[in-house]
Chains A and B, each alone.
Chain A
């Protein structure tokens, strides 16, 4: 079994130096979020992650959740862990005080979420889905529905799910067929939903499903979908539980990874129809889904970071212990642990540098979300809201693709032992694999970036963000300032290509979109790590901070600047000269 140790100094460094923790603490409503409180919160969350959740990760993978008749049983220890989790108040961390939340910034929620997912991603998914359902209800639900359902969902006494996908409606939600028939003050729902994470489980006595369905007279396509709240067990006006609703788990998927997270097929309305309550207005369901999408996609980006961190910790400790061969250039003497071999050292450095890069990007996004929500100045709110919009698909797409690469490197560091399941490295690789798929595949993220975030506003938001990065003084530690400047030019050129030529041909733009998303990831992360290296050097000069730690920050930025950031030139070329090459053959002959 492998352990997890929450990297709090790394987190604090990014929070303070790159994600403007002081600025976020200073926002109206965030007065409580002082640095000493945040340190205490991270310390206590770390204990729960390390001691309660992490030890269940492997047993969860091996046992998986099981379906017995129409009830899902979670792995051994899951119920106790969930109780510890909600009794600790962790479920309500970022929600508003008026609903029983702790009202802490999303920036802090993000750091804490990183711990949950790194400790045990299958577990972390449960509160993550609840968070989405809570957001939907807060933003669009009626006061009555909020009163009846929110308090227990905020506390975590009840969990939430998101029901979008149907067998014929995956990435294309316009094909959703689930029916909702009006009946008095509620609706009756009929149909089947698939891929419902934690659609059923034994952790809580009720589960609140958010379900996309069509009314009988609804228009075709995406404009004809409404959002419904469907409880597993019906709830009376006083919040008491009454009878089982007509919704059942009929099957669990057999998956490559995240075995402990039950992925359910839910059957609605096999008998009298499942009672559901309309959220907001009719036919606006998909739009409501979009309002929660940024947070949900960011949360999956956090998973990419988190699983990479876990894979790195495991690879690092193995590489320090496993003795094999003598160091290169030394013919005789003692054998060395494999971390002394340059190629293994390179892999660990690649893991470390990419993790620093992902953490910077993921935290920056959360900081921008807090400012977009709470900054007193309207222009600042808009600027940060633009950043959130442009970077959401980048955080989701780039951090999950990179998370997969890092989890794969984690196995490579182990050599043959990594391929053996008992070692535990393979689980991270398998668990990571879903992150580039759910909550919109990387392809969907890339389309979102190119179509909605760049072409739709003629590149205004993207260009403003590039200009902002250009105008920031990132210093020039280890030549990073110059490297970032030329990479920003590549990003700017690729954006121009999309806006001036490529974007006019939608197939060409779509073909270039994946490389364009990666370009954004590499350049924004490189820009952040240049800042990181400057901040570390400043602290070294001031004699303020742990020298070894700060040197580590500079070294990882330097690795990123020389090994990853230069990809920007190749990506630019792939976009401007290679988009056509991908489409050279007839689609059915590829």
Chain B
């Protein structure tokens, strides 16, 4: 089995995100970036499949600026075999990302695409689903357990009402939820080895697809600061405030 793992470079989860002064987006200059944590879970799952003898090759792919190579190198240090950077300076929306990924799937012919269920920067939670649609492949989103058997994968999904298990025919697209696994610590010798693993760069123009954004951002601003709470004297007063001041009941 060959596995394709898309990995996204996002603002590190420890960083307090700041809005750019001109309101055009969030500040990413001089901000620590790292791999989207859900994608890390996807990479880990792919490596475990390889270690269990179920996968022959893991290809990590990222789309974006040249710095995304660092994110791919992280995946390579964890254990992916090679990397592909589709280079663009443009911000892509999930549809654009999915189209790029479809092109890469056509070129690489993987048996499985596994990625994080969402990226912690825009929290879209769309790419895996759109990609499955574009490819007309089965999809298993929010996976918490995977079980492989002849040409199929049983995906246990975390849904609102509990757990649901789907049996998908391969090839398929899967998105990883938090409880699928706990990613390993990268070993120092593997960081060194990752530098020598192959990493190809493809300019996005070469793919000849339309990735123009469908949504335009008018303005980004900080959420309003939380105003101080008040103490109420009785249940009646609380109900009254909820009804008439907050107008939530």
Contacts and interface: CB of A to CB of B under 8 A. Distances in A.
A40 B73 contact: yes
B34 A93 contact: no
Nearest to B183: A47
A47 B37 CA distance: 13
A102 B189 contact: yes
A560 to B, nearest CB: 24
Nearest to A112: B188
Interface string A6-41: 001100000000000000000000001010110111
A44 interface: yes
B118 interface: no
A545 B185 CA distance: 29
Contacts of B194: 40
Given A40-B191, A44-B191, A102-B192, A88 B73 contact: no
Nearest to B191: A40
Q: Which of A32, A40, A84, A89 has the most CB of B within 10 A?
A: A40
Nearest to A549: B30
B93 interface: no
A41 B189 CA distance: 10
A489 B194 CA distance: 50
Interface in A529-571: 545-546, 549
A545 B74 CA distance: 24
Given A5-B14, A36-B70, A36-B73, A44 B192 contact: no
A546 B74 CA distance: 24
Interface string B73-109: 1100100000000000000000000000000000000
Contacts of B74: 40
A contact face: mostly helix, strand, loop, or mixed: helix
Given A36-B70, A40-B77, A546 B30 contact: yes
A8 B32 CA distance: 10
A37 B187 CA distance: 13
B187 A89 contact: yes
Contacts of A52: 185
- Please classify how large the interface on chain B is, using the bins under 10, 10 to 19, 20 to 34, 35 or more: 10 to 19
B188 A102 contact: yes
Given A43-B34, A546-B30, A37 B195 contact: yes
B163 interface: no
B186 interface: yes
A285 B190 CA distance: 38
Contacts of A41: 188, 191
A44 B185 contact: yes
B185 A48 contact: yes
Nearest to A547: B30
A43 B74 CA distance: 10
A44 B30 contact: no
A43 B32 CA distance: 10
A90 interface: yes
A40 B30 CA distance: 16
Given A44-B185, A44-B186, A47-B185, A37 B192 contact: yes
B195 A88 contact: no
Interface string A62-88: 000000000000000000000010011
A93 B188 contact: yes
Contacts of A39: 70
Q: Which of B30, B73, B190, B195 has the most CB of A within 10 A?
A: B30
Given A40-B70, A43-B34, A88 B187 contact: yes
A156 to B, nearest CB: 11
Contacts of B189: 89, 102
A47 B191 CA distance: 14
A64 B249 CA distance: 55
Interface string A40-64: 1101110110011000000000000
Nearest to B195: A37
A502 B137 CA distance: 86
A32 B195 CA distance: 9
Contact of A37 (B30, B34, B191): B191
Contacts of B190: 89
A88 B189 CA distance: 8
Contacts of A9: 32
Contacts of A546: 30
Contacts of A47: 185-186
Interface in A77-111: 84, 87-90, 92-93, 102
Contact of A84 (B77, B185, B191): B185
Nearest to B73: A40
B70 A89 contact: no
Contacts of A48: 185
Q: Which of A9, A43, A92 has the most CB of B within 10 A?
A: A43
Nearest to A5: B14
A87 B187 CA distance: 7
B185 A88 contact: yes
B156 to A, nearest CB: 27
Nearest to A46: B14
B192 A90 contact: no
Contacts of B34: 43
A552 B38 CA distance: 34
Given A36-B70, A40-B77, A545 B188 contact: no
Nearest to B190: A89
A487 to B, nearest CB: 33
Contacts of A43: 34
Nearest to A550: B30
B19 to A, nearest CB: 15
Nearest to A91: B188
Given A40-B73, A546-B30, A32 B185 contact: no
B188 A89 contact: yes
A32 B192 CA distance: 8
A136 to B, nearest CB: 23
Contacts of A45: 188
Contacts of B73: 36, 40
Contacts of A44: 77, 185-186, 188, 191
Q: Which of B70, B191, B194, B195 has the most CB of A within 10 A?
A: B191
A432 to B, nearest CB: 26
A52 B186 CA distance: 13
B30 A545 contact: yes
B190 to A, nearest CB: 8
Nearest to A548: B30
22 contacts: A5-B14, A32-B192, A32-B195, A34-B195, A36-B70, A36-B73, A37-B192, A40-B70, A40-B74, A40-B194, A41-B188, A43-B34, A44-B186, A44-B188, A47-B185, A48-B185, A51-B185, A89-B187, A89-B189, A93-B188, A102-B188, A102-B192
Given A37-B191, A48-B185, 11 more contacts: A32-B192, A36-B70, A40-B70, A44-B185, A44-B186, A51-B185, A52-B185, A89-B190, A102-B188, A102-B192, A546-B30
Shortest Cβ-Cβ A-B pairs, 5 listed: A89-B188, A546-B30, A44-B186, A89-B189, A88-B187
Interface of A: 5, 8-9, 32, 34, 36-37, 39-41, 43-45, 47-48, 51-52, 84, 87-90, 92-93, 102, 545-546, 549
